[in-house]
Amino acid sequence: MSESLPDLREAKNRLQEASSYLRIEEIIDRKIELEDLVAQPEFWDDVKSAKKLSQELAEISEDITVFQNLNLKIEDAETLVDLASEEGDDAILAEANQLLHDIENDFTELELRSLFTGEHDERDAVCHIQSGEGGTEAQDWAEMLVRMYQRWAEQKGLSFDVTAVSEGTEAGISSAEFIVTGRRAYGMLQSEHGVHRLVRISPFNKQANRHTSFASMHVVPFFEEVPDQIDIEETELRIDTYRSSGAGGQHVNVTDSAVRITHLPTGVVVSCQNERSQHQNKEKCMQMLASKLHDLERQQREDEIASIRGENKNVGFGSQIRSYVMQPYQMVKDLRTNFEIGAVENVLNGQIDPFIESYLRWVRSESTEIS
């Protein structure tokens, strides 16, 4: 044979590591437990609970299947390597090397799953985009960001539900609130929390001057039920109802029963205008309010810990995280990880996975250094 035989020991070691960080033995036991529950005649008596458990079963079944398929591929590669060694066949060896290349790609995907270790990473995400100073330019940029995340969600097979939109004065939007539903939606979108900066030739300026626009993205995990630690008193709420407005099919389903809730002690405001009834809009608002208040408490705890440690934390909502430059050159750069891509249009069309992955790896490296 003209090529040396590949060594499969590294692949086997990585598979063993994957078994540990995916908690394979633990989730196999959980899968058996859930399958027994699903088989019970009264399982669907509580529809809400049944849907939640069914989703959990589907998710852990997916993790187990990915792991088992990878294990089978490694066994197949080992068989091919042994066969190539016995027969001295370069064609069989080439097939083994191709399979090992596929295995490497599978490991990359599998190891990405290990980066989602946060308490709420598996949850849906509540997102709020707010245009910054700059009038029409910033409002157009805010709408471009909403479109970017919508396209990303579509590419990932996630549900994208706009709950409220405030239209811009001439173009674009002043703000938008939306919920992204699907596995690890929050785990992925937490990387997008912060201020996004756009540099381009202004489409609204006859002199074609270069213009810088800002818009902020706020992301919190979504809670369908109010967490026990969040106490929301009706007396602390101001509830306003109003006629929905927006760009119809582009943004929202127009209704006559929009709801806005203000939490008076904190000033947190949520609104929903896309449900069919005022009751449904209020229920969605309460879920979003609980999500934001839960995140506010988390931020306060982190700030207290940072103060005790004497840390100067500058990772809040006002921090700029990413720059999108369309003129005088093409570049999108994450200012935390220094990851950058030249294909700006691809990014604006929803191809943000490389930024999400680099952020998650950066967070892991930062936490490792601290510990």
- All residues at 6 or more sequence positions from 262 whose CB lies less than 8 Å from its CB, including other chains: 237, 238, 240, 268, 269
Identify whether 18 is part of a domain: yes
31: domain CATH number? 1.20.58.410
The number of folded domains in the chain is 2
- Are both 138 and 224 inside the same structural domain? yes
> For 77-95, what is each residue's pLDDT tens digit?
889 888 888 887 888 888 8
How is residue 293 written in tokens? 């208040």
Are both 130 and 107 inside the same structural domain? no
Residue 224 has pLDDT above 80, yes or no: no
| pLDDT (0 to 100) of residue 146 | 97
Whether 127 has a pLDDT exceeding 90, the answer reads yes
Say what the pLDDT of residue 70 is. Answer: 92
Question: CB atoms < 10 A from the CB of 352, how many?
Answer: 26
How confident is the model at residue 312, as a pLDDT? 41
Q: Which domain holds residue 19?
A: 9-113
State pLDDT tens for residues 145-161.
999 999 999 999 999 99
- Provide the 8-state DSSP code for 233: -
Query: How many other β-carbons are positioned within 10 Å of the β-carbon of residue 333?
Result: 17
pLDDT score for 3 = 52
Decide if pLDDT at 2 tops 80.
Answer: no
Q: Which pLDDT score is estimated for 311? A: 41
Token pair of 73 as six digits: 């591929």
The per-residue pLDDT for range 340-353, each reduced to its tens digit, is 999 999 999 999 99
Mean pLDDT of 242-251: 56
Strand partners of residue 242:
258
Gap between the Cα atoms of 241 and 272, Å rounded: 10
**Mean pLDDT along residues 12-26:** 87
pLDDT at 81: 86
**Residue carrying the six token digits 């190539």:** 84
pLDDT higher than 70, residue 362: yes
One domain, residues 317 and 238: yes
**What number is the average pLDDT over the span 284-313?**
72
Residue 168 shares a structural domain with residue 102: no
Whether residue 109 sits in one domain with residue 168: no
Confidence of residue 316 (pLDDT cuts 50, 70, 90): very low
Q: Which residue(s) pair with 215 in the sheet?
A: 131, 196
pLDDT in tens, 250-262: 444 454 688 999 9
Most confident residue range from 16-20, 92-96, 194-198 = 194-198
- Does the pLDDT at position 308 exceed 70? no
pLDDT at 263: 92
- Within a domain: residue 185? yes
Q: Verify that 180 and 247 share a domain, yes or no.
A: yes
Higher confidence at residue 238 or residue 310?
A: 238
Residue 213 has pLDDT above 70, yes or no: yes
Give domain status of residue 86, yes or no: yes
Instruction: State the Cα–Cα distance between residues 365 and 370, nearest whole angstrom.
Output: 9
* pLDDT of 369: 57
Mean pLDDT (whole number) for 296-319 = 57
pLDDT digits (tens, 9 = 90+) for 36-68: 999 999 999 998 889 889 988 998 898 899 899
Asked if pLDDT for residue 319 goes beyond 80, the answer is no
Query: Mean per-residue pLDDT for 100-110?
Result: 86
Q: Categorize the per-residue pLDDT at 339 as very low, low, confident or very high, splitting at 50, 70 and 90.
A: very high
Indicate whether 96 and 138 sit together in one domain: no
Q: What is the CATH number of the domain that holds 295?
A: 3.30.70.1660
135 and 106, same domain (yes or no): no
User: Residue 305: what pLDDT?
Assistant: 53
Asked if 351 and 365 touch (Cβ cutoff 8 Å), the reply is no
Residues 289 and 194 reside in one and the same domain: yes
CB 245 within 8 A of CB 168: no
Residue 246 domain-assigned (yes or no) = yes
